[in-house]
Amino acid sequence: MQKEERGLSRKQKLENFNENENGLRDHGIFGLPFSPEESELVLLPLPWEATVSYATGTASGPQAILDASQQIDLYDPLCIDGWRSGIAMLDISSSILQKTREVRNKTEKYLEEYFKGNIDKNLQTEINEVCRVFKEDVKQTTKNLLEEGKFVGIVGGDHSVPLGYMEALSEKHESFGILHIDAHADLREAYEGLTYSHASIFYNALKIKNMSKLVQVGIRDFSKGEQEIVERESGRVVMFTDYEIKKVLFEGSTWSAVCESIVKELPENVYISFDIDGLLPHLSPNTGTPVMGGFTDAQVVYLFEKVIASGKKIIGFDLCEVAPGESGEWDGNVGARILYKLCLLALKSKNHGNNQD
């Protein structure tokens, strides 16, 4: 942020800000001049990938998204003036980056033995404890932001990072559901022996007291054990697989009709959890666990619009698993554009005023 803008109110900054040249100055996320204090929506970057099980790189996701966000034009028919409510990202924590590197080294050592059939119980316990503490830190940070009246969005990082935020939301809302966009179900119990694995995020989320419904969309890579969990939960978990969605589309149904079926399964309060690998692989080529199939960005945004149009309320979101490649900004660019859409939709829902908690 420019020195001369410090101390100005959001109103004053808006008066001085040229929305047609947001990428020309060294501002914050999306080239916006707002601080977290004066913004309605605050993004919490979490460069964490302690438990990734395939390719690494998601810890660099928040920085890649921030860097690419300067290229985004603010005008969007989705919510033309939404950005005026204030969107800001907190600083990317160097201590989290350092900690995830340390833990990642231990995880790689642990997994090397694990795949040989040897489980280092001491190392396993150490990794699980570090991840638990991280989860509690996220919970407290997001709880504080919620108490300040902020709408919070999380920018990962691997998909383990939003669990603490989900727990914080459960203390604010008597009931809420999760709309989960992903290639994977992430319903594995302590995947590879790691309680807080990115592949176990929704197994853990099912333990959250006020989380009443999990609606998974676009799933195309999951285990028999995960399918059995869906069946065992008897309606609390609803999975719309990529196969099932594509089949009804091929047989003549419309994406609008599919979205209506999905929205009907959601409760009034909705948290969006978005793994970038839910999209077509060419949109996120460097994500950690790519799978063929998936959605276009337009399909997913249309689904989110349907959620809002139904009168349901978006109460929070995360965007995870964006991983930049060794060259180019494509993954960060796509991630930034998806993030901007999520922010606009969240602000549109927040200011719609249809629902009371």
246 pLDDT band (50/70/90 cuts)?
Answer: very high
Query: Is 27 flagged in the annotation as binding?
Result: no
Q: Determine which helix (DSSP H) or strand (DSSP E) holds 170, and give its type and residue range.
A: helix 163-172
Query: Is 73 flagged in the annotation as binding?
Result: no
356 pLDDT band (50/70/90 cuts)?
Answer: very low
353 pLDDT band (50/70/90 cuts)?
Answer: low
Query: Is 184 flagged in the annotation as binding?
Result: yes
pLDDT at 351 (0 to 100):
83
Residue that the structure tokens 């947001």 belong to: 22
Give the separation between CA 52 and CA 127, rounded to whole angstroms. Answer: 12
Q: Determine contact, residues 281/294, Cβ cutoff 8 Å.
A: yes
pLDDT at 30 (0 to 100):
97
Query: Is 318 flagged in the annotation as binding?
Result: no
- Verdict on whether the full-model pTM lies above 0.85: yes
pLDDT at 24 (0 to 100):
66
Give the separation between CA 198 and CA 219, rounded to whole angstroms. Answer: 15
Query: Is 277 flagged in the annotation as binding?
Result: yes
pLDDT at 156 (0 to 100):
97
pLDDT tens digit string along 39-94?
999 999 999 999 876 678 999 999 999 999 999 999 999 999 999 999 999 999 99
pLDDT tens digit string along 166-225?
999 999 999 999 999 999 999 999 999 999 999 999 999 999 999 999 999 999 999 999
Residue that the structure tokens 């994406």 belong to: 255
5 pLDDT band (50/70/90 cuts)?
Answer: low
Domains of the chain: 3-350 (3.40.800.10)
For residue 37, the tally of other CB atoms under 10 A from its CB is: 11
pLDDT at 6 (0 to 100):
63
pLDDT tens digit string along 316-348?
999 999 999 887 799 999 999 999 999 999 999
Q: Which of 115-119, 238-242, 257-261, 266-270 has the lowest mean pLDDT?
A: 115-119
**Interhelix angle 330-350/297-309, nearest 10 degrees:** 10
For residues 276-286, give the mean pLDDT.
Answer: 96
pLDDT at 52 (0 to 100):
79
For residues 141-150, give the mean pLDDT.
Answer: 99
CA 168 → CA 7, 45, 89, 145, 297, distances in Å? 31, 16, 19, 10, 29
What's the chain's average pLDDT?
94
For residue 224, the tally of other CB atoms under 10 A from its CB is: 7
Query: Is 158 flagged in the annotation as binding?
Result: no
Going by the DSSP 8-state scheme, the letter that residue 191 receives in this structure is G
